[in-house]
Chains A and B, each alone.
Chain A
Amino acid sequence: MSLATDLPHSKGQTTGGAAKTHGLGTGQPAPRRRTRQRRERLFQWLFLVPAVVYMTLFFGYPVVKNVVMSFQEYTTSTFFTGEAPWVGFANYVTVLSSSLFSTSLLNTVLFTIGSIVGQFVIGLSLAIFFQRKFPLNGILRSLLLLPWLLPLIVSSAVWRWILDKDSGALNRFLGDLGIIDTGIPWLTSTSLALIAVVGVNIWIGIPFNMTILYGGLQEIPDELYEAGSLDGATGWKAFRHITWPMLRPVVSVVLVLGVVYTLKVLDIILGLTNGGPANSTQTIATQSYNLSFHEFKFGEGAALGNVLVIISLVFAVLYLRASRRAVDE
């Protein structure tokens, strides 16, 4: 920022005749400094090269490839012949006008909001809870990390057993307590499946939210609470006026990362319900996966994938703007 504001200022100076003599007088050391500056700039760029190459290869290439693919008729033959005719926006039209798109979009929104709200609220509560000092605090906290450490495919397989209608552990438990008579079809009812899938995803996301928020809470100086308590701010008041404002930067990171992670969740849904029953848990991510890898419509799959990328970008931009404002303040 400072460079840009300096520039017009110095220009203004050089417009006057006096500036010329000034320039002549100090003309000798200036070019040398300039080359040194240039060399320094070059070195700065050199340090960026590995990162830029890495980003181009592993992020840039797939993204560009995906965009290109979405405008092509990309089929299994393409892999052998290398031929993929251009079809313009045909893939997008097919995908967006499909009767399934609105269902997938709605499910994606519900899945994301539900997961984020659940993960965040429970994660924050646990983080605050673990701030107190009590025996076994450390062990309990590390046990809570377990869902994060399990491979997603394992978690989804285990939950599929737990949620089974006839012999699942959850229904047996509820049955033994006398709460239910017949098994609840958690994963096979169109009205319950999405809720069940969101529930499992919340369980998986809690450790991430808890860990990051716990870290954020540790950063808040104790003196603030001490000073606050003198003014009568304890409990809920302390949370509202001290914890929450101080935690805000961490909260925005957790939420935006959470949204981007959740939008693209695939394994959990495929493992639990495969998008069923009757597409009630089909999201844009699973639908895009199906199109590409089960129906071999790579172009349509890429187009739908790009729709998801655009949705994620909106959140990324929101995040960047929010964080820039925080820095400006």
Chain B
Amino acid sequence: MKSAQRTSRPLALAMAAMVGLPLALSGCGSSTAASSTEAVTEISVMDYYNNEPDKSFIGDALTKCGTQLGVTVKRETVPGKSLVSKVLQQSSSKTLPDVLMLDNPDLQQIAATGALAPLADFKVSTENFAEGVLSAGTYKDKVYGLAPTVNTIALFYNKDILAKAGVTPPTTWDELKEASAKLTAGDQYGLAFNANPTYEGTWQFLPVMWSNGGDEKKIDTKETEQALQLWTDLVKSGSVSSSALNWTQADVKDQFLAGKAAMMVNGPWQIPALDKQPTLQYGVVKIPVREAGQTSVAPLGGEVWTVPQTGNKARQAKAAEMVACLNSDENQLAMATARNTIPSKTTLSDKFASDNPKLATFTELIKTARARTGQLGEEWPAQATKIYTAIQSSLTGNASPADALKQAQGQ
């Protein structure tokens, strides 16, 4: 035994060195042995805005807040897909940044690990925020993240194509089906949406499901079945290309831009691309509801800013001030205008909507928009998988909407 231990020690040391080396290299200054009186001069920030122009917009806001708080901002941007795995690595090596941005449906997973600090600990104000925004940032009754600006999806329509066909933007499902059918001709489809087997497909289905009273906790209900029937009918009748089963939201935008879809379900982040084509005249309306009188409920998108548990109270307090600064009225309006997103405080919506008429519909929707994780918490990924699985099996004709939902719920 003894000799075995002796020989294995160098190996263990070597392994420890190799494992520890990257940690030491990436440990960008979240030293744990600091008193709360220490003056904080630097704050590390991590987010996934790694593409222009968002990269600069967010960078400017961070620098501005940094100057205001008297700290330099050390920012790292990582690709969106690798953010969560990076955060998990950093939590196990205790090298989380001082301020961390998360996509709102991921907040639950990270908050559940205990890696985040409740914002109430630092007296960050949560007043005036839209209900959905707060619920997206809340895990087990505590607010961990705040989103300065948010977004959602609505129905874009090509004004010229609709005018030529004598169609007005639909408000109910029947009108939507009728309009889509009328607008389908040659290689032009009436409507484009995304129903791919990822969370994006689920996200685009949520408005029809929620507006009709569908429940994400239990999906084999009449309400959700009706919603899935609508999606299925649209594809089966040929008003929506069956390619929707494989499209991303960016593909949907390309179809709309190319005039191959008269209407599309999409979000305000596509507006810069649409505006680049001056010949394109488009309008935005709420996603239709089954019966007039129902409220169009849209899912809430956007990123929340959080304060990880780094163990350094002074830096954490500064980080919380940074989150508060990003969420000041002035910064919310500035970032929303620059990035075609919506301020998350309802007190700002009237002013914002009148200043930005293009975003008026989205601003209206945010007031009632729901967080994907509001009811499910960390169960969201599993349930979202069931929802897109059901959508796929119904849209391909593998099962009726009712059977597809029943199978998926039982999975």
Contacts of B243 on A, CB cut-off 8 Å?
Answer: 164-166, 185, 187-188
- The answer for the CA separation of A279 and B393 in the assembled complex, in Å, is 8
Within the complex, which residue of B14, B15, B113, B392 is in contact with A81, where a contact is CB–CB below 8 Å? B113
Is B281's CB within 8 Å of the partner chain A?
no
Question: Is the beta-carbon distance between B187 and A76 smaller than 8 angstroms?
Answer: no
Question: Is the beta-carbon distance between A278 and B241 smaller than 8 angstroms?
Answer: no
Question: Is the beta-carbon distance between B91 and A277 smaller than 8 angstroms?
Answer: no
Contacts of B199 on A, CB cut-off 8 Å?
Answer: 294
> Nearest Cβ distance between residue B99 and chain A, in whole angstroms?
17
* Stretch in A113-121, A240-248, A268-276, A319-327 touching the partner: A268-276
Question: Is the beta-carbon distance between A79 and B411 smaller than 8 angstroms?
Answer: no
Is A64's CB within 8 Å of the partner chain B?
no
Within the complex, which residue of A57, A79, A273, A293 is in contact with B246, where a contact is CB–CB below 8 Å? A273
Contacts of B196 on A, CB cut-off 8 Å?
Answer: 274, 276
Q: Which residue of B lies closest to A52 (CB)?
A: B11
Is A86's CB within 8 Å of the partner chain B?
no
Is B197's CB within 8 Å of the partner chain A?
yes
> Nearest Cβ distance between residue B255 and chain A, in whole angstroms?
8
Interface size of B as a range? 35 or more
> Nearest Cβ distance between residue B95 and chain A, in whole angstroms?
12
Is B177's CB within 8 Å of the partner chain A?
no
Known A99-B407, A276-B245, A277-B246; further 5 A-B contacts with Cβ < 8 A: A56-B11, A76-B112, A166-B260, A273-B197, A294-B198
Q: Which residue of A lies closest to B394 (CB)?
A: A278
Contacts of B115 on A, CB cut-off 8 Å?
Answer: 79-80
Return 16 A-B CB contacts under 8 Å, by A number.
A56-B11, A77-B113, A78-B113, A79-B115, A80-B115, A160-B246, A273-B246, A274-B196, A276-B245, A277-B392, A278-B396, A280-B396, A293-B85, A294-B385, A296-B109, A296-B381
Question: Is the beta-carbon distance between A188 and B385 smaller than 8 angstroms?
Answer: no
Contacts of B204 on A, CB cut-off 8 Å?
Answer: none
Q: Which residue of B lies closest to A290 (CB)?
A: B385
Contacts of A57 on B, CB cut-off 8 Å?
Answer: 15, 18
Within 8 A of A (CB), among B356-411: 378, 381-382, 385, 389, 392-393, 395-396, 398, 407, 411
- The answer for the CA separation of A188 and B85 in the assembled complex, in Å, is 30
Closest 4 CB pairs of A and B: A276-B197, A80-B113, A278-B392, A80-B91
Question: Is the beta-carbon distance between A79 and B89 smaller than 8 angstroms?
Answer: yes
Contacts of A278 on B, CB cut-off 8 Å?
Answer: 197, 389, 392-393, 395-396, 398
Is A100's CB within 8 Å of the partner chain B?
yes
Within 8 A of B (CB), among A262-308: 273-280, 290, 293-297
Is A107's CB within 8 Å of the partner chain B?
no
Within 8 A of B (CB), among A163-202: 164-167, 185, 187-190
User: What 1/0 flags go to A139-174 for Cβ under 8 Å of B?
Assistant: 000000000000000000000100011110000000
Is B114's CB within 8 Å of the partner chain A?
yes
Question: Is the beta-carbon distance between B197 and A277 smaller than 8 angstroms?
Answer: yes
> Nearest Cβ distance between residue B401 and chain A, in whole angstroms?
13
Is B348's CB within 8 Å of the partner chain A?
no
Is A53's CB within 8 Å of the partner chain B?
yes
Q: Tell me whether A77 and B114 are in contact in the complex, defined as CB-CB below 8 angstroms, given that A185-B242, A188-B246 are known contacts.
A: yes
- The answer for the CA separation of A294 and B380 in the assembled complex, in Å, is 11
Is A10's CB within 8 Å of the partner chain B?
no
Contacts of A53 on B, CB cut-off 8 Å?
Answer: 11, 14
Within 8 A of B (CB), among A185-241: 185, 187-190
Contacts of B71 on A, CB cut-off 8 Å?
Answer: none
Is B88's CB within 8 Å of the partner chain A?
yes
Q: Is the interface of B mostly helix, strand, loop or mixed?
A: helix
Q: Is the interface of A mostly helix, strand, loop or mixed?
A: loop
Question: Is the beta-carbon distance between B385 and A295 smaller than 8 angstroms?
Answer: yes
Question: Is the beta-carbon distance between B392 and A76 smaller than 8 angstroms?
Answer: no
Contacts of A279 on B, CB cut-off 8 Å?
Answer: 197, 389, 392-393
> Nearest Cβ distance between residue A144 and chain B, in whole angstroms?
29
Question: Is the beta-carbon distance between A166 and B92 smaller than 8 angstroms?
Answer: no
Within the complex, which residue of A76, A185, A187 is in contact with B109, where a contact is CB–CB below 8 Å? A76
> Nearest Cβ distance between residue A233 and chain B, in whole angstroms?
51
User: What 1/0 flags go to B99-113 for Cβ under 8 Å of A?
Assistant: 000000000011011
> Nearest Cβ distance between residue B34 and chain A, in whole angstroms?
21
Q: Tell me whether A166 and B187 are in contact in the complex, defined as CB-CB below 8 angstroms, given that A189-B396, A294-B385 are known contacts.
A: yes
Question: Is the beta-carbon distance between B398 and A76 smaller than 8 angstroms?
Answer: no
Q: Which residue of A lies closest to B261 (CB)?
A: A166
Q: Which residue of A lies closest to B390 (CB)?
A: A278
Question: Is the beta-carbon distance between A80 and B242 smaller than 8 angstroms?
Answer: no
- The answer for the CA separation of A82 and B115 in the assembled complex, in Å, is 12
Contacts of A277 on B, CB cut-off 8 Å?
Answer: 197, 245-246, 392, 395-396
Is A98's CB within 8 Å of the partner chain B?
yes
- The listed residue with most A CB atoms (<10 A of its CB), out of B92, B392, B411, is B392
Q: Which residue of A lies closest to B94 (CB)?
A: A80
> Nearest Cβ distance between residue B203 and chain A, in whole angstroms?
14
Within the complex, which residue of B113, B198, B396 is in contact with A79, where a contact is CB–CB below 8 Å? B113
Question: Is the beta-carbon distance between B187 and A190 smaller than 8 angstroms?
Answer: no
Question: Is the beta-carbon distance between B112 and A77 smaller than 8 angstroms?
Answer: yes
User: What 1/0 flags go to B69-105 for Cβ under 8 Å of A?
Assistant: 0000000000000000100110110000000000000
Q: Which residue of A lies closest to B15 (CB)?
A: A57
Question: Is the beta-carbon distance between A80 and B114 smaller than 8 angstroms?
Answer: yes
Q: Which residue of B lies closest to A274 (CB)?
A: B197
Within 8 A of A (CB), among B159-193: 187
> Nearest Cβ distance between residue A196 and chain B, in whole angstroms?
11
> Nearest Cβ distance between residue A270 and chain B, in whole angstroms?
10
Within 8 A of B (CB), among A41-67: 53, 56-57, 61
> Nearest Cβ distance between residue A200 and chain B, in whole angstroms?
14
- The answer for the CA separation of A167 and B254 in the assembled complex, in Å, is 11
Question: Is the beta-carbon distance between B246 and A187 smaller than 8 angstroms?
Answer: yes
Contacts of B11 on A, CB cut-off 8 Å?
Answer: 53, 56
Question: Is the beta-carbon distance between A99 and B411 smaller than 8 angstroms?
Answer: yes
